[in-house]
Structures are given as C-alpha cells and as structure tokens.
Amino acid sequence: MPIRLLSPEVSSQIAAGEVIERPASVVKELMENALDAGGKSISITIEEVGRRLIEVADDGSGIASDELTLSVSRHATSKLSKADDLFHIATLGFRGEALASIGSVSRLTITSKVVDSKAGARIRVEGGSEGRVEAIGASVGTVVRVEDLFYNVPARLKFLKADVTERRAIDNLVTRYALAYPNTRIKLTEGKTPTLQTSGDGDRRAILAALYGVEIAKQLLEITAQEDGLELSGYVSPTALTRSNRKDITIFVNGRWVQDTPLTSAFIQAYHTMLMVGRYPLGAVFIDITPEDVDVNVHPAKAEVRFKNQERVFGFVQRAVRRGLLAYAPVPPVAAALWGARSESTGQAGVDWTIAHDGNLNVEGSKTQADNETSNFPPSSSVEPSLLNRVPLLRLIGQIGTAYLVAEGPDGLYLIDQHAAHERVLFEKLMAQHDMHKIPSQSLLTPAVVTLSPASTNLLVSQLPVLSHFGFDVEEFGPNTFQVRAMPGLFAGSDPSAALRALVEDFEEDEAPLQNEVEKKIAARVCKRMAVKAGQTLSPEEQRALLTDLENCDSPRTCPHGRPTMIHLSVEMLERQFGRRGAR
C-alpha cells in the first residue's frame, strides 16, 4: 500500500481512541471541564450505561457563543497558551482535545451561556462534523450532551465490557471526584434513580460512606500532613480493615485522580509489617504539590503524573500514612492505681478499667477502630503516637507449651507467642539502631564459612553493602562461599550461618523495592531467624525481659511479617464464658 495522509475523520478517531475509551472516559473529561469552569454544582445523567446518553450540566463560567465552534476543535483550549505553561498547570484540562474527541465519536450537543450575555447558544457536532451555532435560551453554565457514543465506531462498542463493569467504572469515577471536591455539589443519575448526591458542604465523611459503605467509612482514620511545598489530607484504613487487592486505594494529586501510581506502593508500604501477607489497606489520599514540581502531561488520559523529586513525595506519603496509623492504634487504658509506678510513663494517670469489651476473643492487632469506644470518629492525628500504641503493662504468669507466655493485664488475660513477640522486639531494636546509624557489630572469634547456591550468591553479593549497614562483616571467600567475620551485637551468640542463610531465602520473589524496603526486609528476615523458637524453654528472667521489651515496642501487636504477637481474653469475655454476665 502506498503511504498517504489519513482523512481528518480517521485521524480524529485515532486521536479520540487515546482519550475516549469507554463511557467513563467521557464522564471524566466532562466532569473535569465542569470543575475547571468553577461551578458550584454539577449534575451527571446517564442512560443505558452511557451508550445512549451522558449529560453533564454545570453552573460554571460557560462558553461564549463566539467560542463554541472553537471549543469543539482539536487543540483549542482556554487553559494554556505557551509551552511553558505546561509546567505550572492549575486546571484539570490543558490539551484542548476532549470535546473534539468526544464530538468525533458521538452526537454531541453543547448548550452554554456566560454571565454577560443575554441569551445562550448551542452547537451540535455529529461524528466530527460541526453544525452552526444557534442562539437559544439557557441559564449561566454549560450543558454537554453526548448521545449515541461510538455509534460510528462499532468496533469500540464491541470492546465495551459488561454493563455492570462499565457502570461500576462510572460510579467509581464520579464518587472519587465527589470525594476530591467536597465543596462542589455533585449529583449522578443513572436511568431514573439518583445514585449519588453530595451536599457540597465540604463534609468528606458522608461521601466516604457512599464510596465504601457506612460501616467502613466510620472506621477510616483521618490524616493530614504538611511539608515544604507538599500537603496531604485523607482517610486511611486501620490495620484491622483490609482488602485482598489495592483497588480501593485512591490517590489524587492536585485534584487529579492518578491511577496505577507508585504512590499507591508508598501508601501500602506505610502498613509494612502491620498487615497479613497478601492483604492491602484502603483509603483516599489527596496530595497538593507545587505545580512546578509535577509533570501532568505524561499520559493520554492524564491518569498518571511524574514528580521532579519522586523519592521525596513517596517518603512524604509513606510517613504521613504511617504516622496516622500509629497515632490511632487502639490502646487499652491503664489503671494507674493497680499497675503501679510505670503507668506514669504512659502519661495516662488514674484511668479506670473502661475498656471496650465486645465479649469476643480479641486478637490483638486486629482490633477494629469501633472496638476503641472512645468516640465514633477517631481523634485528630496530632496525638503523640508512641504514647498510644503501647500494650498495657503486663504481669507475667508463666510459660506454657514452651511456646507461649501467659500474662495478666488490667483488662484480662494475654497469651503471647514468644517467637512472634521476640521477632517484633529484635526487629524494632535493629531498625532503631539502623536508623541512628549505629549498629554495634560483634566480631566472631572464629569466622563462619557458609556455602550458598549460585543464585543465592548473586543475591547476597548485591546486598553486601546493605549488610554492612546492619553490622554484618561478610566477605566472599571462594566460589559461592562466604565468610562471616562479624554480626550485629543484638544477635551475639546466635548461629552466624543461619543468619546469613535467612538473608537470601525467598529473596528471588521480591519485586525491586525501594532501598528502604530492602533494608526492612533484610532486618525482618534476620530477626525471624534469630528469634527464640517455639519449643525453647525460657527462664523467668528471659520471659520477663521479653514482656518488658514488647511493652516498649512501637507496634507490639504484630510481628514484622504481620502475624499477631498476642491474643487477648478480656475480663468481660471470661465473665461471659463463666456465666457471670450477660446470661439473660
């Protein structure tokens, strides 16, 4: 076939394909336009899952009648004039492509009126060809009607997913934008029923309930954070509330919904060691960043952004979420009178035994926020985390089955898994030393020689510099052979070759995590291997030391791999079980 220029119809359909993929893409572009127009209220009407009709009406600035034709032309925008503007964009749109694209794959009607014009005006575009602009009565704002989407691109229609899927995409999109713009009144009507209606009074909790359901919305923790040129607010799940995938994590950057972003990983990493393997948190986070520091022009549907300093934004998100989590971790209050002098160190004087008893077996670390009966909605996140997340002071009773410690707290009985607890203790000590760049290293009298598989050898070699941060002195000693000459003082007396093997086990499965994560993983792995095992008898002194160390941990309720370290049998539960209470 000879080379030839494509007809305008074909090339505009190709261009449209990048932006307009499904009904939800139309909804997105039109909502973004309405939001850019600064209206107070946006109403979206959908018929037949958007194939028949998508109408978006706003009370924003409107389009002047002499600009209507231009508004539906490709590369026509009021939001950008020179290339340099691309680097400080404050609007959602900027390419001037959406209306042209939508017009080329549907029957499009735009009716609009600006404040200082007497009448409104209307333009129709059908499959890319524009009609004339006619005057018509209208109120200030814009109504965009998109009918018979993809009527002239049947192939696209065939690619649409099942109705439920397409509808979910629309619902998800509108709800998320509603959450991001709580000061705009947003109404979504599908068929005859309004599916979503927000008040525009700025209250995000109510909108969260629409997105996640009332029960979950109630449990979400509110977080805020601020740093030079960076601001964040949002809602995140407590550790007890998890999902099997990351789809319920919503991230907005400068009012823009970004998907599949590494920021999602930053969010998830904030829960590191707090969730069971394979479980994910949920939540919505809104980040505001100086427009110069973010490039929004990297994705056809504007669903991704790039940062000038990506590591900084990641760290910021991760810290903000983590801090919020620690601040809210449920804590049973301590009865000062009964639990003696040390309760002063928790800063909670004379609190009574007023603990949320639900009569259930409480697996610590999987308590829900609702169990923490202090209030329906969590307190502000300004509370000092370290004070809130402690386990209560425990009185040691003894060891059972050479695997568990039994202890009494102000609120009942605690069964502690000695291995998981020790893992947590070692991990926090090691990470604390690591963060302060002083891990005491202890030389071995006789260096240990360890032989590994070739794959493990490669891994270990790549991690050698990290290991030295942790106080390991490991050298290659021959083909696939290493010599351990020193190890962290924390593990003094433990088997050095077991420590080294722990480092390379399963490492293959890891996706390239941030450096920070590699180090945490390494630490968690070694601590697991070095921790006391079930079946090991502990002296009373060792048992007591373990309890005290656990009380001093920041996240005492789970091991670094997310399993619970303790099970709590509340006083009330014991009473119930013995028929002393609630037998009616």
Q: Write out the residues near ligand ADP by the rule CB under 6 A.
A: 29, 33-34, 37, 58, 60-63, 71, 76-79, 93-100, 142
- Is 63 or 153 the residue whose CB approaches ligand ADP more closely? 63
- Is 17 or 359 the residue whose CB approaches ligand ADP more closely? 17
- Is 88 or 161 the residue whose CB approaches ligand ADP more closely? 88
Strand partners, 451: 481
Give yes or no for residue 60 binding Mg ion (CB under 5 A).
Answer: no
Of Mg ion, ligand ADP, none, which one sits near residue 62, judging by CB under 5 to 8 A according to partner kind? ligand ADP
d(C-alpha 206, C-alpha 214), whole Å: 8
Of ligand ADP, Mg ion, none, which one sits near residue 63, judging by CB under 5 to 8 A according to partner kind? ligand ADP
Q: What is the DSSP letter of 568?
A: E
Shortest Cβ 133–ligand ADP spacing (Å): 14
* Site track 91-130 with Mg ion (rule: CB under 5 A), x = hit: --x----x--------------------------------
Q: What is the CA radius of gyration of the chain?
A: 30
CA 145 to chain centre: 35
Q: Report the interhelical angle of 515-530 vs 496-504 (nearest 10°).
A: 140
d(C-alpha 203, C-alpha 198), whole Å: 9
Shortest Cβ 65–ligand ADP spacing (Å): 12
Of Mg ion, ligand ADP, none, which one sits near residue 79, judging by CB under 5 to 8 A according to partner kind? ligand ADP
- Reference 564, options 327, 414, 293, 364; nearest CA is 364
Shortest Cβ 201–ligand ADP spacing (Å): 23
Give yes or no for residue 335 binding Mg ion (CB under 5 A).
Answer: no
Span of 87-95, 313-321, 464-472, 549-557 interacting with Mg ion by CB under 5 A: 87-95
DSSP assignment of 397-423? EEEETTTEEEEEETTEEEEEEHHHHHH
Kindly report the three-state secondary structure assignment for every residue of 142-177: EEEEEECCCCCCHHHHHHCCCHHHHHHHHHHHHHHH
Of ligand ADP, Mg ion, none, which one sits near residue 160, judging by CB under 5 to 8 A according to partner kind? none
Q: Count Cβ neighbours within 10 Å for each residue of 368-398 and write b for 16 or more, e otherwise.
A: bbbbbeeeeebeebeeebeebbbbbbbbbee
Strand partners, 415: 406, 567
Other C-beta atoms lying within 10 Å of the C-beta of residue 15 = 17
- Is 141 or 330 the residue whose CB approaches ligand ADP more closely? 141
- Is 77 or 372 the residue whose CB approaches ligand ADP more closely? 77
SS3 category, 51: coil
- Is 42 or 249 the residue whose CB approaches ligand ADP more closely? 42
- Is 94 or 482 the residue whose CB approaches ligand ADP more closely? 94
Of ligand ADP, Mg ion, none, which one sits near residue 61, judging by CB under 5 to 8 A according to partner kind? ligand ADP
Near Mg ion in 140-169, by CB under 5 A: none
Of Mg ion, ligand ADP, none, which one sits near residue 466, judging by CB under 5 to 8 A according to partner kind? none
Pair type for strands 41-47 and 185-190: parallel
Give yes or no for residue 527 binding Mg ion (CB under 5 A).
Answer: no
Q: Contact, 466 vs 439, CB < 8 A?
A: no
- Is 119 or 545 the residue whose CB approaches ligand ADP more closely? 119
- Is 80 or 567 the residue whose CB approaches ligand ADP more closely? 80
Q: Which residue is nearest to ligand ADP (CB)?
A: 93
Of Mg ion, ligand ADP, none, which one sits near residue 142, judging by CB under 5 to 8 A according to partner kind? ligand ADP
Structure tokens at 172: 């998800």
d(C-alpha 414, C-alpha 508), whole Å: 37
Q: Contact, 317 vs 270, CB < 8 A?
A: yes
Pair type for strands 256-258 and 41-47: unpaired
Shortest Cβ 61–ligand ADP spacing (Å): 5
Q: Which residue is nearest to Mg ion (CB)?
A: 93
- Is 303 or 459 the residue whose CB approaches Mg ion more closely? 303
Shortest Cβ 424–ligand ADP spacing (Å): 51
d(C-alpha 65, C-alpha 196), whole Å: 32
End-to-end CA distance of the chain: 87
Residue 111 backbone phi and psi in degrees, to 5: -120, 130
* Site track 28-47 with Mg ion (rule: CB under 5 A), x = hit: -----x--------------
Shortest Cβ 93–Mg ion spacing (Å): 3
Of Mg ion, ligand ADP, none, which one sits near residue 77, judging by CB under 5 to 8 A according to partner kind? ligand ADP
Give yes or no for residue 71 binding Mg ion (CB under 5 A).
Answer: no
- Is 170 or 285 the residue whose CB approaches ligand ADP more closely? 170
SS3 category, 431: helix
Near Mg ion in 388-407, by CB under 5 A: none
d(C-alpha 474, C-alpha 468), whole Å: 8
Span of 89-97, 122-130, 319-327, 429-437 interacting with Mg ion by CB under 5 A: 89-97
- Reference 328, options 428, 216, 221, 215; nearest CA is 221
- Is 29 or 572 the residue whose CB approaches ligand ADP more closely? 29
Q: What is the DSSP letter of 243?
A: B
Q: What is the DSSP letter of 393?
A: P
Residues that bind Mg ion (CB under 5 A): 33, 93, 98
